[in-house]
Amino acid sequence: MTITEIQDQIVDEFSMFDDWMERYEYIIELGKKLPLINEEFKTDDNIIKGCQSKVWLKGEQNNDIIVFTADSDAILTKGIIAILIRAFSNQKAADILAADMGFIDEIGLKEHLSPTRANGLVSMIKNIKMYALAFESKN
């Protein structure tokens, strides 16, 4: 699936919920389903700076596809990174760099987060894009 198709799925899923408490619960559920990051990647090098809680993100290139794994010590934040990994993992670096981030506004995520969590979200996206840029420049 393309990034846009995955983002559209995410928007559709969030539109099923009437209020933000249900959406928060859904985000938490997504976090619980996030595959565990390998413990060896829980290092300071992989911590996303700018997040209120600890978030580890690791990107690895497999052929021309980037695979992301992540974890967080906060359950809501873990759900947020799970959404981003779903959208951007198993994609080509160029596609990640070219991706529109409008789906985040469509689901209303940024406006329903505290300012520190919204900053963390921006930092997560920035780190995903930085991995893509680093891998694309290798090719």
Query: Closest by alpha carbon to 115, among 30, 25, 51?
Result: 51
CA pair distance 18, 73, nearest whole angstrom: 28
Which of 51, 55, 85, 93 is an active site residue?
A: 51
The answer to whether 129 is a known catalytic residue is: no
8 CB neighbour count, 10 Å cutoff:
14
- Catalytic residue annotation: 51
